[in-house]
Structure 1
């Protein structure tokens, strides 16, 4: 069914194909006019030049501080106790960074090795060809994405296991070199952001520019950067952060096994949680081209630094804590383990299927009715006979499945998972909860940006959608 905001009863029967899937949508002239407005810079985001500079300088400092507190100060938030202690405190912090987080040879070798290995296998391995959404700035041309993340994941796992088994590269060493790897990741984040910014400006492919260097560097200048068959934006979102996050968990587990002869249920939980995430991104990669990240978000510092450094080195503080502390400090009861594992699995199911429902609904409206099948293919990934609001823009807003209950069911489930990533170490330290605390701010801000964009794009149809969902 289709909900039409102009109808007297607000509900009309939709024209459908024989198998009950939605008919292909057509973008209207009014919709194109709205898209042209959205592809122009109208106002600063993130507090303008001052705000983005504060983020670009403050967040790396915060990442160093939280890691130092976890690794060297038993998870306590250390701070100067008096005015006289400020300078010695700052020198102690700097000494930790200079000594224990220097961009040493190991950091460059391992981070760069993974970076270029992921690029190489993304280039050579076969994949599933997926068509993206029509891009307004390309005159509504659709781009084709080579979705081979699943093959790349299996190749990475086999390669890492082989190197570890033959003592060529020990996975245990990754967590011990956390600081060094983190600094190298930051250098990559700043450097790649600058390279892509300059490339877009010099080649005249920039879009939605503000005219302020700091804001444009932060938000990005290019929309769809590609290296041959590799879409760099999608590659960086899937291949770099979640590979590192997963192997940091594996490294923590390997270290526990070498120290104690076993892996705690808490560390196993993080291996499962990060494994869920990396496998979901790989097996459902064909859904990513239908997302806002690919369709609208530019590839700048905000996205690049977050994927190269922010995500991998601020999401798994619980692993850092467990790798440096005795298991007795965070042991749960059997009931506690059952509860937190259940919450994780339930939230993951909702997140996975909600993302699939929305993406495959968008594919249906493009005329795509055959979907890729990968393991594990969870039930409920496709909404049958979906209801939606037909907009004057030409697009359709899904009101079925999980999307009948929330405008962002994927965000609710995603945040719930993030909370369990901190809760797995109990109340011994608040630092592992940074992910969930920061993530809720990010999601709320992202919702605000998304809802403002949708309000411009859909007008009264968006108001009707907000009444329904």
Structure 2
């Protein structure tokens, strides 16, 4: 009788997944293979030799593959050292603890907030390294880029396997979308909602630190690469660097906002998030700087003003809508949000239809964006991502 009651309780807390994303197991397998492929391809095909042009040089994958070293133990040690440095920062740097949202079993998890201090510590160390050893350590990164991509992929796969294995231990809360019973799909989408080692939350740590901070650091490496090759940085690469660092700075400064976002409250942690956080974000988001490192484009004063204007407008919309979403999801006492909650929900339903497992806010800026798309394809995100390319094609 006791075993039956326990099984019933588990079924209520962790119901079986019946609806699939990404086309189910076939789609999950496809994305698992395509994300690493395109990460390599985008970087191998964007070099001074190929020029990032869609031509026969890019399409000659065999030549690209054979001419590039993809693995070295040294690069793996470098990446592991980078990851462990961030873990050490999480442990030793001061930070306040906040409670996350209420879980399905009625409990809350606590999270340490010190991603911003980790970013500042990393910036300070990078400056000290540059003053002491010059650009050599940073040029090592760009000269061993593919090997570091491989190292990040190994870490991504290892974490996904570890978290999938741990999800079968008793008492774990599973993601509503990752408990299908299919190994490939659940490993990819993420079976456990909040995998942890003691108080160390793997998902939120990866979301805010290894990928985002590495993105900014890789951008800096590409700036130094251009200085090394041409003697000085172009205003286009400096502008792209400032914009992208600004985005990372903003994300780390507002770290507590992520605890109401779908990645944390709803999605499990599997290969989809691990490869996205550790590999896709840093090594593809820095592609604009990689291109500009060997194409020193100079922008006119008019082009500079135009790009800056779009940046300010796009960032303003992005920040205001994110703050409003966060206040709404926390059911703030702010009358602007709390008092109009039903109206927002009704507008959401009319505008985009019911969306499972995540509250949406139908404010003017965010709601109109939902007409076009949901999630990372929000027009404000598109505006900022497109803006990062303006110094390239202006």
If the TM-score is normalised by the length of the shorter chain, which range does it land in?
A: 0.7 to 0.9
Whether 1:95 aligns to 2:48 is no
CA distance in 1, matches of 2:81, 2:282: 16
Whether 1:140 aligns to 2:117 is no
Which structure would you say has the larger RCO, counting Cα contacts within 8 Å and 6 or more residues apart? 1
What is the total number of aligned residue pairs between the two structures?
A: 364
Whether 1:61 aligns to 2:32 is no
The structure carrying a bigger helix percent of its residues is 2
- What pairs with 1:224-303 in structure 2 (closer than 5 Å)? 224-303=194-273
Match of 1:167 among 133, 136, 153: 133
Does the aligned pair in 2 maintain the 1:190–1:305 contact within 8 Å?
yes
Equivalent residue, structure 2, for 1:12: none
CA distance in 2, matches of 1:64, 1:385: 46
SS in 2 for 1:171: helix
Return the offset for 1:239. 0.2
Whether 1:47 aligns to 2:23 is yes
Please list every run of 5 or more consecutive structure 1 residues that lacks an aligned counterpart in the other structure.
Answer: 1-34, 370-381, 428-469
RMSD, aligned CA: 3.0
CA distance in 1, matches of 2:12, 2:67: 49
- Taking structure 1 as the reference length, the TM-score comes to 0.70
- Cα deviation digits, residues 274-301 of structure 1 (max 9, x gap): 2112111111111111111111000001
Match of 1:73 among 40, 47, 50: 50
Return the offset for 1:401. 6.7
Return the offset for 1:238. 0.8
Whether 1:387 aligns to 2:340 is yes
Equivalent residue, structure 2, for 1:219: 189
CA distance in 2, matches of 1:219, 1:403: 27
Please list every run of 5 or more consecutive structure 2 residues that lacks an aligned counterpart in the other structure.
Answer: 1-10, 347-355
Return the offset for 1:128. 2.5
Whether 1:304 aligns to 2:274 is yes
CA distance in 2, matches of 1:40, 1:425: 47
Does the aligned pair in 2 maintain the 1:197–1:222 contact within 8 Å?
yes
Equivalent residue, structure 2, for 1:422: 389
Does the aligned pair in 1 maintain the 2:189–2:272 contact within 8 Å?
yes
SS in 1 for 2:98: strand
Return the offset for 1:387. 1.9
CA distance in 1, matches of 2:213, 2:108: 28
Does the aligned pair in 1 maintain the 2:215–2:282 contact within 8 Å?
yes
- Cα deviation digits, residues 392-414 of structure 1 (max 9, x gap): 99x98644574464446982211
- Taking structure 2 as the reference length, the TM-score comes to 0.83
Does the aligned pair in 2 maintain the 1:388–1:400 contact within 8 Å?
no
Return the offset for 1:149. 0.8
Whether 1:127 aligns to 2:95 is yes
Does the aligned pair in 1 maintain the 2:173–2:194 contact within 8 Å?
no
Return the offset for 1:255. 2.1
